[in-house]
Amino acid sequence: MSDQSIEVRRAELAALIEGRSDEEITRGVEERGVEGVLDGVFQGMAEAFLPHKAAGQSAVVQYDVTVAGEPHTYQLKIAGGRCEMVKGRADTPRVTLTLALPDFLRVVAGKLPPVQAFMTGKLKLQGDMMIATAMQGWFPQGGSGGR
């Protein structure tokens, strides 16, 4: 996928959530279909992966994205210069990131810096915090979120 199409998709996501409350974001995603939206976001993350930035690293990063109190679980499996999106729980994730849907979308769109999300309790980490920090560089950074 070209960098331009990644940026276009990120801009579309940012426009979808810009200025909207958590409830409005959640309602909008539910109207579009939660699974379809999340599948698209995680597939986009896998496609945007920058293998040269993660040289020699391998990790299973699990995301628990909560919608109306119910977790939707995805994994990004990073190994051998590739990133693969897998739905469902990992047996032994290196790190698990838990966020509510609106905050997850804000982080992905570049509207909420991950460190700020963590420091304010919107992002919860379990496992290897060093990988969580390092992996920020494994994906293009952009948008106007201060990342």
User: φ and ψ at 97, to 5 degrees?
Assistant: -110, 125
**pLDDT band, residue 144 (cuts 50/70/90):** very low
In the chain, the percentage of residues whose pLDDT exceeds 70 is 93
Cα 120 from Cα 141, distance rounded (Å):
21
Predicted confidence (pLDDT) per residue in 80-111, tens digit: 999 999 999 999 999 999 999 999 999 998 89
Lowest mean pLDDT among 72-81, 90-99, 113-122, 135-144: 135-144
Each residue of 29-50: pLDDT tens digit? 999 999 999 999 999 999 999 9
Read off the pTM: 0.88
Residues 62-82 have pLDDT tens digits of 999 999 999 999 999 999 999
At position 126, the amino acid (one-letter code) is: Q
Cα–Cα distance measured from residue 46 to residue 139, given in angstroms and rounded to the nearest whole number: 9
In the three-class reduction of DSSP (H, G, I as helix; E, B as strand; rest coil), residue 70 is classed as: strand
